[in-house]
Amino acid sequence: MTAIQDIRAEEIRDSRGKPTLRVVVVADGQEGSFDVPSGASTGEHEAHELRDASGGMSLALRAIAEDIAPALRGMEADQRELDAALITLDGTEAKSRLGGNTLIGVSIAAARAFARAARAPLYEYLRSLASIPPSRAAPLLFVNLINGGKHAEGGSPFQEHQIIPDTDDVREALDIVGRVYEKLGARIRAGGSEPGEGDEGGYVFPVKDVETPFALLAETSSGEKVFLGADIAASSFYRDGAYDVLGQRKSAHDLLRMYRDFRAKVGLRFVEDPFSEESFADFSALASTEPDLTLIGDDLTTTDPERIGKAAEVRAIRAVIIKPNQIGTLSETLAAMKAARDNGIDCIVSHRSGETMDDFVGELAFAFGAFGLKAGAPHRPERRVKYERLLALTTAV
């Protein structure tokens, strides 16, 4: 029998320079590790992130050393049992006692150790855990080239303005992204402003209106086979029943009209979190009036099978963001992906704005033929490794 021999962790820094966790699990003499990411525009329903008041990781490290490791050492190397044990040990709805960040660290590190112990490639091991119908031969890349919202002080109120190359060839997609990234930078400079860089590596510049970033993306990607997309992250500027867009208070209906306008004018094709995180009915209204606009849930659904089921029931979304640390264990992440696919919803596996050099999301997107992989601007190393992992798997397997 393969058993868990050791679980340990250390504090490392994420791409924002903030403390996070590296967790190592040893099973059958094989080590697996995971470097945990961290969000900034976090959904209300996400698993709790355990962090000291000072921002450090000592509480999380103690949870692993004193609660988790002693309870799991010697346990059989079985993902479902391990994740169930983590959930029971924590014992709270929001994973607030031990922290979703500690639990996902242990869960994914264990998956890597178990895969090595089984002498299986990680994607094959993942496939052995769940049967999730694929959406595509290779995921589309959702690449955020203009950052805003909580990821970019002084920029657009909308969090992400993306291009999505329309190809199954990941190398070709990265080449397209590289070309548009260069052109866009030159275009922003030609317009008179020296762009900054946001958390996910996209350009940041002051905007007078919300349409400009999309118009620039449309202009600099013309001639390339790309779709345009956005993560509005609307909860981040929703206050007292209205949306604060560049100092103007807007209703959900105003936003709905604005998205229809973007669809018509710049051909916006994908939109994530167009309304705040409890606004299932507003999502449904937009989805039914704009059938050519694909609505995506993130803060709305928080990688939670129940919330995904609810979104499916009211036809709020056609795609869903999958972030393992939003829910806290690998098994629950796979349950969320399965819930989505069983309801005809596509999965877009995603990084977080605070990232590490870990490439797990590239592996996960490949393993289950996800519709998309969203990992930021690929000139940044912590983003690039995820696309590179996907590229390596799509060319080798």
> Looking at the annotation, which residues are catalytic?
200, 323
Number of residues that bind Zn ion (CB under 5 A): 2
Selection from 324, 322, 312 nearest residue 373 by Cα: 322
Selection from 315, 296, 371, 308 nearest residue 336 by Cα: 308
CB 73 within 8 A of CB 4: yes
* 71 Cβ contact list (under 8 Å, min separation 6): 85, 89
39 binds, among Zn ion, ligand PGA, none (CB under 5 to 8 A by kind): ligand PGA
Residue from 30, 42, 162, 356 touching ligand PGA (CB under 6 A): that is: 42
Subset of residues 151 to 180 that bind ligand PGA, contact rule: CB under 6 A: 159
Residue from 35, 290, 298, 332 touching ligand PGA (CB under 6 A): that is: 298
d(CA 167, CA 315): 27
Residue 344, CB-side half-sphere exposure with 13 Å CA sphere: 8
For position 221 contacting ligand PGA by CB under 6 A, the verdict is no
Subset of residues 192 to 231 that bind Zn ion, contact rule: CB under 5 A: 231
- CA 397 to chain CA centroid, nearest Å: 24
Minimum distance, C-beta of residue 298 to Zn ion, in the bound complex (Å): 3
Minimum distance, C-beta of residue 304 to ligand PGA, in the bound complex (Å): 15
Subset of residues 287 to 316 that bind Zn ion, contact rule: CB under 5 A: 298
Task: Please count the other Cβ atoms lying within 10 Å of the Cβ belonging to residue 76.
Answer: 11
Q: To 5 degrees, how large is the angle CA 299–CA 12–CA 159? A: 30
352 binds, among ligand PGA, Zn ion, none (CB under 5 to 8 A by kind): ligand PGA
CB-closest chain residue to ligand PGA? 39
Residue from 39, 201, 229, 297 touching ligand PGA (CB under 6 A): that is: 39
**Where do contacts with ligand PGA occur on this chain (CB under 6 A)?**
39-42, 159, 231, 233, 298, 321, 350, 352-353
**Where do contacts with Zn ion occur on this chain (CB under 5 A)?**
231, 298
